[in-house]
Each structure stands twice: as structure tokens, then as C-alpha cells.
Amino acid sequence: MAAKEFAIDHPSKLPGSFISNGSNGTIYLHAMHSVVDWFAFGKWTNGKLVRSLSLSPENGVLEDIGVRLAFEEPFWAGKQPATGDADSEPYPLPFHPLELGEAALKEFFGYSLEGPLEPSAVEPESIPLLRYKRKRRLWQLW
């Protein structure tokens, strides 16, 4: 599902209408904004927040809740450093958030948006998204 409510700086504050404490299974939130190099994700298991991360070069780490997941470790360990021009200032984070975002897409959903497509990867265009049309009730006073 896609909705503007998912693009929040603190995934842990996702409205409860999207997460049910009684739900079984795993729910993922994934949000990226390439203009500001921002990435955030959240993972809930059986309605309980397991992991939440949000970061950008301008604001640093906005949220870091729960135990880091295995796919994150190479980034935090400095094995996926952000690279830039020799003349540019050092990147303010140990890695590029959008590269971590791509790794999260691959880990959670089996595909990525950037880079070469692996033969076993799912093509992003083949994934159906739910679309809901919002309507407002119109009240009429007599």
C-alpha cells in the first residue's frame, strides 16, 4: 500500500490505523526522498515495533529504535562508505542513506530501484500496489 502518511520522519509514529496490535505477521514501512537523501523504515511483528530508523545528511539520525537488522550491519561497520568527489566535503554520515534504502528494498521485498537487476530479483513494475480513493463526507445543514 502507498500513502502520504508513510513519509514521516519518525516511523515509530505511524498512525495506529495502519498498525493493529492484534495483527499477526510482519508489516514494513519504507520511505525515501532522493532530493534530500532521506531514508526511513520501520518493521512491526505481530503489531509490535521491532525496528525503526530514519536518517538524512542534513538532520543526522532522526530515529534509531530496536536492534539493527543483518542487512544494515555492513553500512554501520563502514563497509559501504559514502563516496564523493575528492574536492567535496566529507559526507556527514558513514554511508549514503539511499544506498541503505536500496538494501532494505532488496531485503524486505526482493527488488531494488537502482543498479543492475539480478536475475532472481523481482521487477519493481510487476508488484501491484493497493490504491484507495479517499472521499470526504459532505454534510448539509437544513
**pLDDT tens digit at each of 142 positions of the chain:** 666 777 889 999 988 777 875 567 888 999 999 899 999 999 999 889 999 999 999 999 999 999 999 999 999 999 998 876 667 788 889 999 999 999 999 899 887 777 666 666 667 677 777 666 666 665 555 5
Distance CA(133)–CA(114), nearest Å, equals: 29
Is residue 26 in some structural domain? yes
Question: Residue 55 CB: number of other CB atoms within 10 A?
Answer: 22
Question: Residue 96 CB: number of other CB atoms within 10 A?
Answer: 19
Is residue 65 in some structural domain? yes
β-bridge partners, 31: 40
Range of the domain at 46: 4-126
pTM for this model (two decimals): 0.78
Is residue 139 in some structural domain? no
Is residue 134 in some structural domain? no
- Total number of domains in the chain: 1
